Structure 1
Amino acid sequence: MLRAACAFMEGDECLRAHALSAEAYHVTASILLKQEDKGLAWLAADRSVQAAHASQSPLMIGSSSRIITHALMDGGHHYAATGAARSAAERMAADLTEPTPDDLLDLRISAALGAIAAADTGSRHSTAELLDEAAEAGRRLGQDANHMWTAFGPNNVLCHRVNVALRFGDAGTAIDYARQVDLEQLPINERKATLLLDTSRAFLMWNRHDKALHVLRAAGEIAPEEIAGRPAALRLVRDILATAPISVRREARDYAATLGVIA
């Protein structure tokens, strides 16, 4: 409907309609990625980029570049994702003469996403460099805020560090970073649940099934839809259940049953 509206509008109204279309496709792609529908997610992400460019808004273009980076990462195209994140940040830096706080956030979030993609290529140097860029932006902000639905800030950067440590297989470092996060300062429950899922995975890598299950249940209490409706979360439940020692197995089985997961 938004695409059709764009065909009948002119001037600022048309640009605004394209911006709304970019946002709608961005949200759609995010949901599809969580559901692991990579094909449709890529299509939605691509349309978000097209609409963003049609809106002529550097902010929307930067925002849509994030979802393209996500789609590339989920598709296993890690080098391309790293390049896309870097290119988006460089393009925005060149285009913005008087950047707003939201513009700066897009720049730094691109750096954070690039760091995660770089971790999947095995490049520790690039990962550290990009995470430091994101951390500097977090320090400048001073607090976590949900500008452009990013939940970005100092604690969010720590969440990215947790995820990156996991990707390198370093469960101890992931848990250390997770313990530094002030969960109450994260502005959206989805972000809190994602951090707790990563922390649960780290404890499972450490063979601390009791803690992995405890943290997973905490995530479910904060954002139940992120556990019950997310394939990756249900796989984590199965992994805990499949490898749990006798002391934890009954509790794990009971919790899995509430989610419809059967051993």
Structure 2
Amino acid sequence: MTDDMSPGARLRLFREAAGRSRPQLAGLMGCSPESVKAIETGRRELTLTMAVRAARALNIKDLSALFGADVAYTVLERPSHEALPDVRRALLLHHPDDGSPQATDYIRTMLDSAWQTWHSSAKQRTETGKVLPKLIRDARTAAAVGDDRREANRLLAEVYHLTQAWLAWHGDRELCWMSADRAVAAAQAADNPLSRARASWYYAHLVRAIGHNEDAITELGHAIPLVRDRIDSDRDYAAAYVDLELCAALTLARAGDESAWSHWDDAKLAAERLLPDGYAHPYTRVGQAIVDVYAVMIAVAMGRGDEARRRAANLDPASIPSTERRARHLLELARGYRLAGEDIGAVHLLAQAVDASLETVVYSPPARLLTRELLRIVPPSTREDVERIASRISLRD
């Protein structure tokens, strides 16, 4: 075992030395075999939580055996945000505020504005974090004591979706799960099939993130029929259907399942038929450009860098109707270039992602993992460029 080995490569050696298969280790770690494979091959970061589970399963006494000299830094790998205490307080204080509840029209306007800020600002977490705590309190109060409880609960579910997006890459993971679970409850209280389907979409993303791909697919399978019959008559239902099919495609891709492309094809056809050119959903930004973004994500998830580059060839990043999604696309494409062995191109694209939205990259575990990897492998002529990126995202080598 050499000092420059990645944590994933170290994990594979320990697993093989213990005589464990990937499915066996996955069962002991509480994740899927595909998640173990993704960690071992460098497509997914070995987080501290997963490292502790692996160490217990493989009888590894010291985490430095997995992380090497980087173990102290890895503990601090997930940066937090200064607005997190206020968001946490808004989520945990369960009783509605005193006074009259805000009208649902007001909450809807503030929610639309917050989502617009999320997608248009390069500092989406900072700017959205300024308004999110009050939005949570107002929406919860309206759902508890307002006049139109069903509409208030529908809006509350959407507020929790925004909260989940805000928390996804930083802060307490328990709060992220709390947001997703409360969104499902609010959507059920709203008694609205579209709201329930959208809540399932957000929930499935989290279920997939912890490696339970089959459960995520089951959740999506229950959600798709909620919207499918109305996609020809209601654009919001059509957008939700496309989102659900794309989520299924990415989930299957991360499980190494080739049927991912069938779901992507269904999403592509539906978007071309039902969503006009230039359309972007106000919250998820789904539209024809986002469908093409997912094609790159699917290829990267399946470890096919050349395919990711091919899928991205005709996609102009400027056409992506969200600063946050644009930065994430450039990051995914950088990972695709790395998979294809095009490290110089990966550095260039990673720098573009930083320029598009520094906050997106700062709080992205895959971005930090890729930066650390590039610091290890790039030639001296390029190392200065990577060090500049590492400095901008506050990453210590």
Same topology, TM > 0.5: yes
Equivalent residue of 1:180, what SS? coil
Q: Equivalent residues in 2 for 1:17-96 (5 A)?
A: 17-35=152-170, 37-93=172-228, 96=230
Q: Distance in 2 between matches of 1:115 and 1:184?
A: 24
Local SS of the residue matching 1:256: helix
Q: Do the aligned residues in 1 keep the contact of 2:289 with 2:315 (CA within 8 Å)? A: yes
SS of residue matched to 1:192: helix
Q: What residue number does 1:163 align with?
A: 297
Q: Which residue, 319, 339, 344 being the options, matches 1:205?
A: 339
1:75-118 per-residue CA deviation (whole Å, 9 max, x = no partner) reads 11111111211221123225x49741011110121011001111
RMSD: 1.8
Q: Could you say if the C-alpha distance between residues 128 and 231 of structure 1 is closer, same or farther in structure 2, counting changes exceeding 3 Å?
A: closer
Please, which moves more after superposition, 130-139 or 250-259?
A: 250-259
Residue 64 and residue 249 in structure 1: after superposition, are their counterparts in 2 closer, same or farther (change >3 A)? same
* 2:92 equivalent in structure 1: none
Kindly, what percent of the aligned residue pairs are identical? 27
CA distance 1:233–1:133, change in 2 (3 Å):
same
Q: Which residue in the other structure is 1:217 paired with?
A: 351
What TM-score do the two structures reach when normalised by structure 2?
0.62
Q: Aligned pair in 2 of structure 1 residues 36, 69: CA closer, same or farther (>3 Å)? A: farther
Higher relative contact order (CA 8 A, sep 6+): 2
Structure 1 contact 26–44 (Cα < 8 Å) conserved = yes
Is 1:100 matched up with 2:234? yes
CA distance in structure 1 between the aligned counterparts of 2:231 and 2:292, rounded to whole angstroms? 29
Preserved contact between residue 69 and residue 84 of structure 1 (Cα < 8 Å): yes
- Report the residue type matching 2:354 in the other structure: G
Between structure 1 and structure 2, the one with the greater Rg is 2
Higher helix share: 1
* 2:264/2:295 contact within 8 Å kept: yes
Confirm whether residue 134 of structure 1 aligns to residue 267 of structure 2. yes
Counterpart contact for 2:252–2:258, Cα < 8 Å: yes
Match of residue 8 from structure 1: 145
Q: Gaps spanning 5+ residues in structure 1: where?
A: none
Whole-Å separation in 2 of the counterparts to 1:76 and 1:29: 18
Q: 1:252 to 1:87 in 2, by over 3 A?
A: same
The structural deviation recorded for 1:20 is 1.7
Q: How many positions carry a matched residue from both structures?
A: 259
TM-score computed with the length of structure 1 as normaliser: 0.91
Q: Tell me the amino acid that sits aligned with residue 100 of structure 1.
A: D
- Counterpart of 1:147 in structure 2 is 281
Query: Tell me, which stretches of 5 or more residues in structure 2 are unaligned?
Result: 1-136
CA distance in 2, matches of 1:49, 1:81: 14
1:155-199 superposed Cα distances (whole Å, 9 cap, x missing partner): 211111111111111100001111121222211111111110000
Change (3 A) 1:182 1:251: closer
